[in-house]
Structure 1
Amino acid sequence: MKESTIYSIGHGNKKFDDLVKQLKQYQIEFLLDVRSKPVSKFNIHFNRSWLEEDLSKNMITYEFLGDHLGGLPKDRACYTNGKVDYSKIRTKNFFQDGIRLLIEANEENMKVALMCSETKPEECHRCKLIGQELLKHNISILHITEDGIKTQREVIEILTGGFGSNDLFGKTDFTSRNTYK
């Protein structure tokens, strides 16, 4: 497994300065926003326009990748019974293009963090979709949590109650927690 330079972080209800402090702690140079909609109703300092400006003041480059790696794609073919079906997203060109960008960033040892709103990686597509896909390329995302760093495999163990990425039938396909109409 290649050493990973790809991290993930959830902004939740953090203060902007706390997010920056965590990013700097791990020498993150690029924050890649993987939210499908780069806005926050409750914390406007996490809206795309604010992040672009405020992160640059902290020597961190902001990039929006929600069109490639967002958890709520516009393509309705990615949904099953109203839930986002990650196995369907994985087959889409837009998603594969985003994954290629991450693989290249890792190969170039760029310190990047994928950001979404969910603070717990086991409840977010950063882990269940992007992280699982990167494992296929021998890259384990490093998830920044309140308790420090957790590897992709550690988070999957939490998510599956210790069964790893395989269930009793040999495969676990993750979907979104919520249903969308």
Structure 2
Amino acid sequence: MHTAGVREFVAAVGAHAPAPGGGAASAVAAALAAALAEMAGRYTVGHGSGTLSFSEVVSRAEFLRERALLLADEDSHAYESYVAIRRQTVSDPARQREDRARAAEVAAAVPSELASLALEVAGLGERLIETGNPHLRSDACAAVLLSAAVAGSAAVLVAENLSADRGDERIAEARRCARMAAEAASRVAAALGLIEEGGSR
């Protein structure tokens, strides 16, 4: 395992700097969840049953993995710009409000997409748990559980970045994705015997 890049990224998250932060960390977690689904799918190709095309699952998981990594970079850049604009001192308050609103829009775009992406990865994981290679079931479970955490954190970030407009539909959509991903995680936890479906032990 090559840990140099991982160590560098984790150290950057922990540094006294605004980015990378929660958005980038969540995006990397989403990439890992997609990679787990991708791996489980690869071990399932040729071993599955039913009508599900596991080759398509692998292709989609691979795409989501790469997209999540791009979102990690995009989030860091967007949030750095957002912080820089908020720290600016300008003589025109109206212009400052406009600039801050635009920056918030950009900063909210990444977690908005990330919430939807995480929900899709959770769905792939559930399908692999149900009909995939049973030897990779734990990896598919991990993909679902990680995805639920990502969707939840993404929903929080969307709400925070768009706090000036609590009625923004993107907040509601991100929360919907988080709720559905959490439900998927609960089903997985129940199947593993960690909780009773519908409640805790």
**TM-score interval, normalised by the smaller of the two chains:** under 0.3
Q: TM-score, normalised by structure 1?
A: 0.28
Q: TM-score, normalised by structure 2?
A: 0.26
The structure where strand makes up a greater share of residues is 1
> Larger radius of gyration, structure 1 or 2?
2
The structure where helix makes up a greater share of residues is 2
